[in-house]
Amino acid sequence: MKRITRFFWFCSGAHVGTLKKYPIEHNKYVGIGATIFFTALFASLSGGYAMYFVFSGSAFAVGFAILFGLIWGTAIFNLDRYIVSSIDKQGTTNQQILQASPRILLAIMIGIVISRPLELKIFDKEIRQKLKTAYLKGQHRKIDTLQKTYTQKYAMELQKNNELKKEKDSLETDINRSRYQLNQEVFGDKTNQTSGIVGYGTYAKQKQTVLQEKEERLKTVMDDQGKMDQYLGDRKDYEGLNTMRLFNDHQLDSLANVAGFSDRNWALGQLSYNENGTRDLDTYLAESFISFLFILFECLPVFVKLMSPKGPYDVAISKLSEADIHYAEREKDRNIEVTDSVYDHHVGEEISKRKKIFSAQSDYDIERHSYD
């Protein structure tokens, strides 16, 4: 228990040597340190999970996820530890709140960053379904775009093909009617289109000739239509229309499994909206509550430090800080005094040295002048 307690004291950023002197403060800093530690633990899991999806499909995905999770958790731990330990309890409440405001904003941002990857895991099933729906709609749009492009590009050929089909249908109808009239003429059925004379006479021959002409035209039209259908079919192959298919369930599952972090994050954002664009309040509240939970969890150490009254540890730290400041000031004075003394001594030695040089030079000049 002593080791765990000292570890959480370290996590809280407290000065362990000073904190040990005040048992009344021990539990408070154990709680603050534990909160910081578990926040860093959640951050490590969150970062590792996000990195796993970045390298999803790679043989090293798990290794990268563990490595990044440890680095990310350590970074968040260091930030939280600094945020809490840097709050000074010596000022008024307003001063403390003002001092902690940037740290609270930073804690909120950290909470948002931590919560997002974990939300992706919590709503994994719903995200997969949303992704499959989105991929299927995207495939529909792609096919529709190809079809529209094909229709515009080969509008003249399609129009010609439609005209051939209409002519073919019209000729088939006329041929059936003409063949029926020919039979009536041959068997002597009297109508407004037949003579009523039995046998293969002049009128029957005329009707036979018209029928053959129509049949020959139908054959020509059908040949032209076959060629046009073959050409348009080749164009569909070239444009990719014949090879484009909607995804089946297995393909959709595979696509959802390999979806990257960006796609999953987009799908998570879309979960809070219905198909008609209105807000899905239940899902939106569920996502919001999870985010608020992690934001509150991240801000909790700061709030605990702000709400807790000034204790003996805070006073002792303040006094130690004042003593260190006083020592630094005295150290500065000592260094200034030593520097001045050394400088003065150096100046004195330099003056003495130059005097000796000047005296020696003067004696030398006098002796030489006397000799001359």
Residues 327-361 pLDDT 10s: 889 899 899 999 989 988 898 888 888 888 888 87
pLDDT in tens, 42-52: 888 878 877 87
The tokens of 38 are what? 């578990």
User: What does the alpha-carbon distance between residue 35 and residue 22 come to, in Å, rounded to a whole number?
Assistant: 21
> Does the pLDDT at position 193 exceed 70?
no
Instruction: Determine the pLDDT at residue 336.
Output: 92
The pTM of this model reads 0.56
The lowest-confidence range among 224-228, 248-252, 285-289 is 248-252
Instruction: Determine the pLDDT at residue 215.
Output: 86
User: What does the alpha-carbon distance between residue 251 and residue 259 come to, in Å, rounded to a whole number?
Assistant: 12
Classify residue 2 by burial, with Cβ atoms within 10 Å: 0-12, 13-18, 19+.
Answer: exposed
Q: Are 13 and 314 in contact (CB under 8 A)?
A: no
Instruction: Determine the pLDDT at residue 194.
Output: 64
Q: Distance from CA of residue 2 to its chain's centroid?
A: 43
Dihedral in degrees, nearest 10, Cα atoms 337, 341, 346, 347: 100
Q: What angle do CA 19, 36, 88 make, to 5 degrees?
A: 50
pLDDT in tens, 7-57: 988 988 888 888 888 888 888 888 888 888 988 888 888 788 778 777 766
Q: Are 197 and 186 in contact (CB under 8 A)?
A: no
> Does the pLDDT at position 250 exceed 60?
yes
**What average pLDDT does the structure give for the chain?**
81
pLDDT in tens, 63-114: 888 998 899 889 888 888 887 887 777 767 777 777 778 778 877 887 787 7
